[in-house]
Structure 1
């Protein structure tokens, strides 16, 4: 990481960290590996269906964390409100799914 200096209108020098492409390249390779593992589990054919579904769900959750954290920059400071709104959305969607399943099978 490098530090960039910015001079504001008041003449005050402020600095902020600038991420280089190294982290993005590592995260991109990690995303490709996760996708390859999920694809290989399904393409193998001999894998137990329940294990494949669980593996795909785990890979999907990891992929979401990586995508949100690094590509959408939610790991940075000042992004707490969008994170809280997404958590609220997941809660509402999860509640709707659970209640829909309960309603269908009750």
Structure 2
């Protein structure tokens, strides 16, 4: 069953979820490997500007987090708003702590 269908369930109807299949997971896995290889190649090349390498690594890390959270932890599915909000709150608190610690170290 590839579409949403209603199945009888002891007095009511139970909605079945769409089955994604392994194709999306394989594509996302390959994308994760490519992101890792790009980050590794940037550092292993040696001749790359350090600032560019750091920015590239940060961009690759953010993309990896989005891929991992969205596809492997299924946060792209319906009904996951509360966990997403809690994670965003955690990222905000962690970012605030990092910024404040850098401020205290460098400007005080």
Q: How many residue pairs are counted as aligned between the two chains?
A: 106
Q: What is the TM-score with the length of structure 2 in the denominator?
A: 0.90
Matched, 1:62 2:63: yes
Aligned to 1:78: 79
Q: Structure 2: how far apart are the matches of 1:36 and 1:71? A: 19
Aligned to 1:3: 3
Residue by residue over 1:73-98, the C-alpha shift from the partner in whole angstroms, topping out at 9 and shown as x without a partner, is 00000000000000000000001111
**Any gaps of 5 or more consecutive residues in structure 2?**
none
Q: Structure 2: how far apart are the matches of 1:88 and 1:28? A: 27
RMSD: 1.6
Q: Secondary structure at the match of 1:17?
A: coil
Q: What is the TM-score with the length of structure 1 in the denominator?
A: 0.92
Aligned to 2:23: 22
- 1:31-70, aligned counterparts within 5 Å? 31-70=32-71
Q: Structure 2: how far apart are the matches of 1:72 and 1:55? A: 24
Q: Secondary structure at the match of 1:65?
A: helix
Residue by residue over 1:20-78, the C-alpha shift from the partner in whole angstroms, topping out at 9 and shown as x without a partner, is 10000000000000000000000001101110000000000000000000000000000
Displacement of 1:18 in angstroms is 1.1
Displacement of 1:12 in angstroms is 2.0
